[in-house]
């Protein structure tokens, strides 16, 4: 789990061996989301007749404070020792209901659920016949009761934390995160794959909307980071391996120039690797085939270095190159920065050359996310910038002029319903953002996930927007966004990364694979096959000539791969026992 649950209080004893399960079933209406799709009171009444169920009821909002008190009081009154809640997803309210159990004096591990009546039934089966919906709800609750009967307390191990954080990515977001963490009193290792800090801002000129100098921001942050004694900077470096466990990860860092490697032990990590710009294909809007076709980054460099000495001829900007593409073409998302960057460049060109005629071909609609961009867009129009709207069915074309080293840009403007043929010596492609090209290496090295769009994946975009599936590793400055949003995410991730460092110790739920030594024959298949992705399986000699399989519980992530390959069934996952699965399946299939 991304944030392990606290250990069960000593005042909450496990059930005695052989103690009869007393199950309570609580059905939530979810304010009508569930209650309008199924008969919640009828489901509760039906569940009261299931084996081992001694109490069953329903309530409008089980997750509310009165709902939790309702559960707590029912546990005490009916002496319940197992609880099944039929409501929304576990991600949203599992911890909520666990606390209700613990408030009543029983372990939160004796909870099943929430059984997803909302996500897995109400939101997907609302158009089915009522009897079909009710029957599915009954199957889900019956399966939940079978799981509850098999539940067990999971041991929790308290581990001291190495009070050092690592930041991967030395752009402005990474440097800001590093400074935030040092202000809390912790040491930081800042890892950057390039030979200098600053990231993307090293290629930019002015930042919208305040037209601040990108280089001045980089220089200021770099100076502060280099001056901070708590920050160790590793340039030309990248992580290649994660070992250890939450609170004490051993991260192998490789120097990309020398190939040398060194291991750093850390307590938490923030990833601020940012993005790369889209790499246009040859011939895409005339790229590498038509004279004068450049990218927004190239124009930024020309303006920054003072290379633009005379006004370009009818400069044309083409939006959404590498963003919002059609299915099968490439990146379908909006990169969130291109429109604002282009509007800013229009402003800069008109400041430099007031008489230049600027054209901007935008795809379907302009999306200026930053503050004051609407005002700058209106100001640009008043200064003579022409904004032409095109659609994917009639895309912009860029061809070489037959009589000169210039481009002819053809745009069908849907607003005026006219076709414009613009002769230009500067066609600027507004490139979108995409995941770093080496993101696959990073995900493999750290054991984190990436989404379908290639970017690193958070646990939940709303409830856990900076957490990864690896405890103690957080995301900042990932996905397509502008500088201020990237910094905000990185600061949030830095704050989350300080939590385990502040605690000094973390409690790790041992939701791991254990071994029944009586069943283990020492075949070595779980170890020899290298099926464990976390290197948590080993063979130990328990007596002369007799070896048994052993799990490193701090390294084990509870994936169950070793259990699937064990021929004798000696390996089993705590809390997710094989018997529990079989019992649930049998109940689901029961007539």
Domain co-membership, 42 together with 108: yes
pLDDT tens across 132-141, in order? Answer: 999 999 999 9
Residue 10 located in a structural domain: no
Distance CA 233, CA 195 (A): 11
Residue 235 located in a structural domain: yes
Q: Is the pLDDT of residue 1 over 60?
A: no
pLDDT tens across 32-50, in order? Answer: 999 999 999 999 999 999 9
- The DSSP element (H or E) to which 399 belongs, if any, is strand 397-400
Please name the residues in contact with 291: beta carbons below 8 A apart, sequence gap of 6 or more. Answer: 400, 405, 406, 407, 425
pLDDT tens across 217-270, in order? Answer: 999 999 999 999 999 999 999 999 998 889 999 999 999 999 999 999 999 999
Torsion of CA 41, 43, 45, 50, to 10 degrees: -160
Is residue 290 within 8 A of residue 407, CB to CB? The reply is yes
Q: List the single range of 68-72, 120-124, 430-434, 503-507 with lowest mean pLDDT.
A: 503-507
Domain co-membership, 223 together with 294: no
3-state secondary structure of 564: helix
User: What integer is the mean pLDDT of 446-461?
Assistant: 91
pLDDT, position 590 = 82
Q: Last residue of some domain: 154, 172, 188?
A: 154
Domain, as residue range, for 257: 164-275+435-507
HSE, side-chain direction, 13 A CA sphere, residue 138: 18
Domain co-membership, 406 together with 291: yes
Q: Is the pLDDT of residue 6 over 70?
A: no
pLDDT tens across 272-296, in order? Answer: 999 999 999 999 999 999 999 999 9
Tokens of 541: 């000699």
Average per-residue pLDDT in the chain?
92
Residue 171 located in a structural domain: yes
User: What integer is the mean pLDDT of 354-375?
Assistant: 91
Distance CA 241, CA 223 (A): 30
3-state secondary structure of 267: coil
Domain co-membership, 84 together with 54: yes
Q: Is the pLDDT of residue 3 over 70?
A: no
Domain co-membership, 95 together with 140: yes
CATH code of the domain covering residue 315 = 3.50.50.60
Residue 293 located in a structural domain: yes
Q: Last residue of some domain: 136, 154, 172?
A: 154
Domain co-membership, 497 together with 523: no
pLDDT, position 465 = 93
- SS3 string of 228-255? CCCEEEECCEEEEEEEEECCEEEEEEEE
pLDDT tens across 477-514, in order? Answer: 888 998 999 999 999 999 999 999 999 998 888 999 99
Q: Is the pLDDT of residue 350 over 50?
A: yes
CATH code of the domain covering residue 53 = 3.40.50
CATH code of the domain covering residue 520 = 3.30.70.20
How much of the chain exceeds pLDDT 90, in percent?
Answer: 77
Domain co-membership, 293 together with 415: yes
Distance CA 267, CA 269 (A): 7
How much of the chain exceeds pLDDT 70, in percent?
Answer: 97
Domain co-membership, 389 together with 485: no
pLDDT, position 8 = 42
pLDDT, position 205 = 83
Residue 14 located in a structural domain: no
pLDDT, position 18 = 55
User: What integer is the mean pLDDT of 566-583?
Assistant: 93
pLDDT, position 414 = 97
Nearest alpha-carbon partner for 519 in 553, 569, 557, 588? 569
User: What integer is the mean pLDDT of 333-341?
Assistant: 93
User: What integer is the mean pLDDT of 297-320?
Assistant: 93
Q: List the single range of 77-81, 89-93, 167-171, 496-500 with lowest mean pLDDT.
A: 89-93
**pLDDT-based confidence at residue 14 (cuts at 50, 70, 90):** low
pLDDT, position 535 = 82
Distance CA 126, CA 229 (A): 60
Q: Is the pLDDT of residue 10 over 70?
A: no
Tokens of 186: 């912790």
CA 368 from centroid of its chain's CA atoms: 25
Residue 539 located in a structural domain: yes
Number of compact structural domains in the chain: 4
pTM: 0.82
Q: Last residue of some domain: 507, 528, 546?
A: 507
DSSP secondary-structure letter at 76?
H
Domain co-membership, 270 together with 347: no
Residue 12 located in a structural domain: no
Distance CA 132, CA 114 (A): 21
Residue 288 located in a structural domain: yes
Domain co-membership, 76 together with 41: yes
Domain co-membership, 202 together with 77: no
Domain co-membership, 467 together with 561: no
């Amino acid at each position: 789990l991304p944030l392990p649950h606290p250990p069960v209080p000593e005042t909450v004893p496990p059930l005695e061996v052989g103690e009869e399960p007393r199950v309570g079933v609580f059905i939530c209406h979810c304010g009508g989301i569930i209650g309008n799709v199924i008969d919640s009171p009828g489901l509760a009444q039906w569940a009261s007749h299931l084996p081992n169920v001694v109490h069953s009821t329903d309530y409008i909002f089980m997750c509310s404070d009165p709902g939790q008190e309702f559960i707590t009081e029912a546990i005490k009154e009916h002496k319940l020792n197992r609880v099944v809640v039929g409501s929304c997803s576990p991600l949203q309210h599992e911890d909520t209901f666990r606390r209700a159990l613990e408030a009543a004096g029983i372990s939160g591990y004796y909870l099943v659920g929430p059984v997803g009546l909302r996500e897995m039934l109400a939101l997907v089966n609302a158009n089915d016949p009522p009897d079909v919906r009710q029957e599915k709800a009954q199957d889900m609750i019956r399966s939940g009761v079978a799981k509850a009967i098999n539940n067990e307390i999971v041991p929790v191990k308290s581990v001291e934390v190495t009070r050092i954080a690592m930041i991967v990515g030395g752009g402005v977001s990474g440097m800001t995160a590093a400074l935030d963490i040092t202000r809390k009193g912790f040491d930081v290792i800042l890892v950057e794959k390039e030979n200098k800090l600053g990231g993307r801002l090293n290629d930019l000129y002015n930042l919208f909307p305040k037209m601040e100098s990108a280089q001045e921001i980089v220089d200021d942050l770099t100076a502060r980071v280099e001056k901070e004694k708590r920050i160790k900077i590793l340039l030309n470096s990248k992580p290649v391996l994660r070992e250890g466990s939450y609170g004490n990860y051993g991260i192998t860092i490789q120097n990309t120039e020398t190939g040398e490697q060194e291991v750093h032990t850390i307590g938490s990590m923030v990833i601020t690797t940012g993005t790369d710009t889209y790499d246009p294909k040859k011939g895409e809007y005339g790229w590498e085939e038509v004279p004068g076709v450049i990218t927004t980054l190239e124009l930024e460099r020309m303006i920054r270095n003072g290379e633009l000495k005379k006004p370009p001829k009818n400069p044309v900007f083409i939006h959404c190159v590498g963003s919002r593409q059609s299915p099968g073409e490439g990146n379908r998302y909006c990169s969130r920065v291109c429109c604002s960057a282009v509007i800013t460049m229009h402003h800069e060109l008109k400041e430099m050359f007031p008489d230049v005629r600027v054209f901007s071909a935008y795809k379907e609609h302009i999306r200026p996310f930053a503050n004051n961009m609407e005002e700058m867009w209106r100001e640009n129009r008043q200064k003579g910038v022409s904004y032409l709207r095109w659609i994917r069915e009639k895309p912009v074309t860029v061809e070489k002029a037959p009589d000169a080293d210039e481009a002819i840009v053809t745009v069908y403007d849907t607003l005026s319903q006219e076709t414009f043929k613009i002769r230009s010596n500067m066609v600027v492609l507004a490139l979108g953002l995409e995941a770093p090209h080496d993101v696959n290496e990073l995900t493999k090295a750290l054991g984190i996930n990436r989404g379908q769009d290639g970017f690193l994946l958070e646990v939940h975009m709303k409830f856990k927007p900076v957490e990864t599936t690896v405890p103690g590793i957080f995301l900042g400055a990932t996905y397509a966004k502008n500088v201020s949003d990237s910094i905000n995410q990185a600061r949030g991730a830095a704050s989350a990364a300080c939590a385990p460092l502040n605690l000094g110790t973390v409690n790790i739920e041992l939701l791991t694979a254990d071994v029944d030594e009586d069943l283990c024959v020492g075949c070595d298949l779980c170890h020899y096959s290298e099926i464990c992705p976390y290197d948590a399986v080993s063979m130990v000699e328990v007596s002369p000539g007799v070896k048994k399989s052993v799990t490193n519980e701090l390294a084990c992530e509870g994936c169950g791969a070793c259990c699937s390959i064990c021929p004798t069934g000696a390996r089993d996952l705590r809390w997710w026992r094989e018997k529990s699965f079989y019992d649930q399946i049998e109940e689901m299939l029961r007539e």
